Amino acid sequence: MNPAPYTKLLILFLLTFSFTCQAELFSFEQRIPSHPSLGPNELAVIINKADPLSATLGEYYVAKRRIPKENVIYVSFPPGDKIMSRQQFASIKSHVDEVTPYNVQAYALTWIAPFRVDCMSITTAFAMGFDPEFCAKGCEPTKKNPYFNSLSHRPWADYRMRPTMSIAATSLKNGIDLIKRGVAADFSYPSGTAYLVSTTDKNRNVRSNFYPLLRKRLDPVFAIEQIRTNALKNKKDVLFYITGLKKVKKLETLHFHPGAIADHLTSAGGILTGSAQMSSLRWLEAGATGSYGAVVEPCNFVQKFPHPIVVMQHYLNGDTLIEAYWKSVAWPGQGIFIGEPLAKPFSLF
């Protein structure tokens, strides 16, 4: 991962975001939800019928989450390729747009590959449509996410975008386990710990700048531990795990609560298979319910990765996993969201 050359831009963002967090983010105690978080009626599930795993996992998810049959969308393309061309995607997206019920606010994909469309992540391509402004050649800013840190629960109605998450798994068992964790998380109000990990990897440790403010804001809500280590181990109450490293070790020693979110800031975490760096899938296989990773070199712009304060604040205030995660990435064009979209451990509805 190359350090971003825009030092002044990064400093300005940090100062601006610090002010935003203090002035605009609401507290868990103060918020009274004005609209329920996203539910099964507002999520469309997109299944690749040419991919047996996608079809079986998609049908299981539809049944488990009681997704209306009109919200199940079938597409067909040869499975396995890591990257889809923009031309092929345009044809698929045109069909999806045509058959998506108007009330649908978000999408769930049910395949592991492709995870890219040309230079974009596939989840952002489905959410926003293919747009080269979400791509970058080298260390550059990309198009902004209009949904970032929003109070909206109706992104299609409010922003003409449908946040997308991939229910990604290399096996049916892994996919079913992930879905079961998401369902088990609902209304559970887990009393786990948020682990904010500072590593020795200076370039990937940039989000640690937000840890002091996060602790100040959310310490009264649940346990937070700020730790300096490259490998958290033997923790049995993981609710959030935020770190920055090429590869994270000792995941097999951890226990994640249903609904847990975990990710590592690195260049290629979203390359779900065949990467020299750790795939974000390892988090899900270790027991997390949601993760995120870059599919092309993003450099270490904090805006291209989940902001820990924002994702935790929205999740704790009752948003589903897909809502909270999507609201936490300011520039999402190069990153893929994976997990069980409807998990809502802190929801009142």
pLDDT tens digit sequence for 258-288: 999 999 999 999 999 999 999 999 999 999 9
Tell me the average pLDDT across 235-252.
Answer: 98
Q: What is the pLDDT of residue 30?
A: 36
Yes or no: say if 210 and 308 are a contact pair by the CB < 8 Å rule: yes
Structure confidence by residue, pLDDT tens digits, 27-51? 333 344 446 789 999 999 999 999 9
| Reported confidence tier of residue 3, pLDDT bands at 50, 70, 90 | low
What residue type is assigned to position 157 of the chain? A
pLDDT at 281: 98
Residues 197-219, mean pLDDT to the nearest whole number: 95
Confidence of residue 206 (pLDDT cuts 50, 70, 90): very high
Q: Per-residue DSSP letters for 16-62?
A: HHHHHHHHTPPPTTT---SSPPP-GGGEEEEEETT-HHHHHHHHHHH
Residue 90, pLDDT > 60, answer yes
Q: How confident is the model at residue 142 (pLDDT cuts 50, 70, 90)?
A: very high
DSSP per-residue letters across 96-151:
HHHHS-TT--EEEE--SS--EETTEEHHHHHHH---GGG--SSS------TTTT--
What's the average model confidence in pLDDT over 288-316? 97
End-to-end Cα, the chain, rounded Å = 41
pLDDT per position as a tens digit, 53-65:
999 999 999 999 9
Please tell me the distance from the alpha carbon of residue 165 to that of residue 28, in angstroms, as a whole number.
Answer: 25
- Cβ contact 132:292 at 8 Å: no
Q: State which H helix or E strand residue 261 sits in.
A: strand 256-264
339 three-class SS: strand
The model's pTM: 0.92
For the segment 212-240, the average pLDDT, to the nearest whole number, is 94
Give the residue among 289, 95, 284 at the shortest CA–CA distance from 183. Answer: 289
For position 9, what pLDDT does the model report?
37
Nearest C-alpha neighbor of 339 from the set 284, 295, 274: 284
State the average pLDDT over residues 129-148.
Answer: 96
What is the C-alpha separation between 224 and 114, in angstroms, rounded?
36
